[in-house]
Chain A
Amino acid sequence: MAYTKEQLQKFAKLIRIEISDEKLVEMRIDSIVDWIDKLQKIDTTGVEPMLTPVEHALPLRMDNVTDGDIRDAVLANTPDDSGKSRGYFAVPKVMDE
């Protein structure tokens, strides 16, 4: 399955990466897609997809808060620390006037 330039730009936009058409071509994503296409030839009828190698039962725990009171630690690495002293992340405006 080949992807058009427009489709690739759509994917890049979906994952919020600004990229030029030239750079997309240089990345040779088409060569990777061509190559992974070889899996299409394998007959997998009736095969259950495998999403994890884990076979053991995943342990359950009570739905209790196990941390908390770590506000300053959560804010410690914020790239814009203008909201830090008040306990907020400062982010670009998301609503119009």
Chain B
Amino acid sequence: MNLIDLTLTEALEQLRTKKISATELTRAYLDRTKKFGAELNCYITITPERALADAAESDKRYANDTARMLEGIPLGMKDLFATRGIRTTAASKILENFVPEYESTISQKLADAGTILLGKTNLDEFAMGTFSKTSFFGAPVNPYQRNHKLTAGGSSGGSTSAVAGGLALIATGTDTGGSIRFPAAITGLVGMKPTYGLCSRWGCTAFASSLDTMGQIARTVDDATLMLSAMAGHDPKDSTSANFDFKIATTPLNLKGLKIGIIKELSDVKISDDMKNLFAARISDLKSLGAQIIEISIPNILDALAAYYIIAPAEASSNLARYDGMRYGIRETGHDLIDTYMKTRATGFGEEVQRRMIVGTAVLSSESYEVYFMQAARVRRMIADSFNLAFKQCDFIVCPSSSGPAMPLNSDLTPLEYYALDLFTVAMNLVGVPAASVPAGRSTDGLPLGIQVVGKMFDDARVLQMAKHIETFAGLDNRPTSVMGE
């Protein structure tokens, strides 16, 4: 079997039993990155020397029985996480040459668990986008049907392109409005937005602080579960991180007597026939295991998108104020200080980032604050209350991850049409609940589609257990060599 096709769980088993070495595994990934990296454009920066040095260290640890939880596992790190001594760009020109002197908590935890960093993955600039097209470094490409040049999604599109194509075994992502779940769904992967507060945000470039959620992208639910257990945990450096002990569930979830809610208001949303059919098929699969399907109501869920596109830009416009060209990042000299700021930020930020900052500033302006920002915050509360109420009636909520499969990168959509792609994912960020996208099957033309499992706050372990049932029924073959060849 090709080393690239091993799942995280399988690779760890082979490493532990010394059937393969971490160096062999890492080399296989580096070779594949050499072969397909430029075409997929999934990495902004690669770190092969460091990877091989770390792999040698992992092999030592396997030899002397000090191997850690994810020892020797090749990892892609979304280029939003600060990595000490390794360029961290947020896919923005303004940070093109920024080399952090500190390490984000999540990347540190994954390093402490023994992972091997292969490089920093591509994304939408400051994670703002759904196709990863706003990246200063060009868009990553979906490994499925490469000749069609489809999007790998966004904003964590470099991470999904890398994992789906076999250029990383697992990868980190961040999800502010769907940026892990949407790209994972259209690349045949498992992608999770854990409960807000489960994983530390410290050291990850801030976009919208009350929505930003660090999460994981992997090929299987078991892999995603293992990865999350290495990432979760309280961090004194992030006051919003929770003191919650994430524990992997060891037995399969018995669905008998469990209630799964279907959101009534989403039933009228136009989705592709394939998505509709796959969703119905997986629901009836879950029924066959004894789950009870009930209809629940989130009356304002279709307003979540507009509330999100007020709150997220508002928070972004204040978070991005720090990029002034004085202490780090690029500086464009103007005729005075103000002019230097104006030129630096006009040159350093791309169009979508500028658009959102202007919208964010507009909705926070004194004449609009009540009308837009506070109204959106009240709608957010109403949506959260509806989710709480729904979770009194059901254990999980299940819904599509997207309306359809990956679209061509050269699709010419208006800003609003791009925003609409987040329809199925933003509400969970507003509310904070955990949600995992899991492969549901393939569309008639062979492209993967995903379903989301949504749970109560901090019910992440059971969300993954439920996702595992869907994964088993879907039986999607997402081995990288079958997705895009040897």
Decide: A15 near B414, CB < 8 A? Known: A1-B368, A56-B243, A92-B340: no
B342 touches A (CB below 8 Å): yes
Q: Which residues of B contact A12 (CB under 8 A)?
A: 354, 358, 361
B333-346 contact mask (Cβ, 8 Å, vs A): 1 or 0: 11011111111111
**Whole-angstrom distance between the alpha carbons of A81 and B432 in the complex?**
42
Q: Which residues of B contact A19 (CB under 8 A)?
A: 346, 354
Interface residues in A14-70 by Cβ distance below 8 A to B read 14-19, 24, 27-29, 31-33, 35-36, 38-40, 42, 44, 47-56, 58-59, 61, 70
Decide: A17 near B357, CB < 8 A? Known: A39-B306, A94-B337: yes
B249 touches A (CB below 8 Å): no
A85 touches B (CB below 8 Å): no
Decide: A16 near B307, CB < 8 A? Known: A1-B368, A29-B355: no
**Whole-angstrom distance between the alpha carbons of A91 and B337 in the complex?**
8
**Whole-angstrom distance between the alpha carbons of A24 and B345 in the complex?**
15
Closest chain-A Cβ to B321's Cβ sits at a distance in Å of: 7
B255 touches A (CB below 8 Å): no
Which residue of the partner chain B has the closest CB to A61? B236
Q: Which residues of A contact B355 (CB under 8 A)?
A: 27, 29, 32
Q: Are B331 and A79 in contact, with the CB atoms below 8 A?
A: yes
Q: Are A42 and B300 in contact, with the CB atoms below 8 A?
A: yes
Q: Which residues of A contact B363 (CB under 8 A)?
A: 36
Decide: A51 near B457, CB < 8 A? Known: A59-B243, A91-B337: no
Q: Are A40 and B375 in contact, with the CB atoms below 8 A?
A: yes
Decide: A36 near B310, CB < 8 A? Known: A16-B338, A79-B328: yes
Closest chain-B Cβ to A45's Cβ sits at a distance in Å of: 9
Which residue of the partner chain B has the closest CB to A11? B361
B380 touches A (CB below 8 Å): yes
**Whole-angstrom distance between the alpha carbons of A35 and B197 in the complex?**
31
Q: Are B384 and A50 in contact, with the CB atoms below 8 A?
A: yes
Closest chain-B Cβ to A80's Cβ sits at a distance in Å of: 7
Interface size class of B (residues with CB under 8 A): 35 or more
A82 touches B (CB below 8 Å): no
In-complex Cβ contact of B372 among A27, A36, A79 (8 A)? A36
Q: Is the interface of A mostly helix, strand, loop or mixed?
A: loop
> How many residues of chain A are within 8 Å of chain B by beta carbon?
53
Q: Are B346 and A39 in contact, with the CB atoms below 8 A?
A: no
Closest chain-B Cβ to A84's Cβ sits at a distance in Å of: 11
Q: Are A16 and B342 in contact, with the CB atoms below 8 A?
A: yes
Which residue of the partner chain B has the closest CB to A41? B303
Q: Which residues of B contact A16 (CB under 8 A)?
A: 324, 338, 341-342, 344-345
B412 touches A (CB below 8 Å): no
B358-399 contact mask (Cβ, 8 Å, vs A): 1 or 0: 110111010010011011111111101000000000000000
In-complex Cβ contact of B342 among A17, A31, A47, A79 (8 A)? A17
Closest chain-A Cβ to B182's Cβ sits at a distance in Å of: 20
Q: Tell which of A8, A36, A89 has the most Cβ of chain B within 10 Å.
A: A36
Q: Are A8 and B372 in contact, with the CB atoms below 8 A?
A: no
Closest chain-A Cβ to B336's Cβ sits at a distance in Å of: 7
In-complex Cβ contact of B303 among A3, A8, A42, A78 (8 A)? A42
B416 touches A (CB below 8 Å): yes
In-complex Cβ contact of A35 among B317, B326, B416, B457 (8 A)? B416
Decide: A15 near B416, CB < 8 A? Known: A32-B309, A40-B371, A53-B210: no
Q: Are B326 and A27 in contact, with the CB atoms below 8 A?
A: no
Q: Are A27 and B342 in contact, with the CB atoms below 8 A?
A: no
Q: Which residues of A contact B341 (CB under 8 A)?
A: 16
Decide: A14 near B361, CB < 8 A? Known: A36-B309, A77-B329: yes
In-complex Cβ contact of B306 among A38, A80, A91 (8 A)? A38
B280-312 contact mask (Cβ, 8 Å, vs A): 1 or 0: 000000000000000000001001001101100
Q: Which residues of B contact A36 (CB under 8 A)?
A: 306, 309-310, 363, 372, 376
Q: Are A54 and B432 in contact, with the CB atoms below 8 A?
A: yes
Closest chain-B Cβ to A6's Cβ sits at a distance in Å of: 13
B101 touches A (CB below 8 Å): yes
Besides A14-B361, A56-B242, 12 more A-B contacts (Cβ < 8 Å) are A3-B362, A12-B354, A15-B358, A18-B342, A18-B343, A29-B359, A36-B309, A36-B310, A48-B381, A58-B239, A77-B328, A89-B326
13 A-B residue pairs with CB within 8 Å: A11-B365, A15-B358, A32-B359, A36-B363, A36-B376, A39-B306, A40-B371, A48-B381, A50-B377, A50-B380, A58-B240, A77-B97, A92-B333
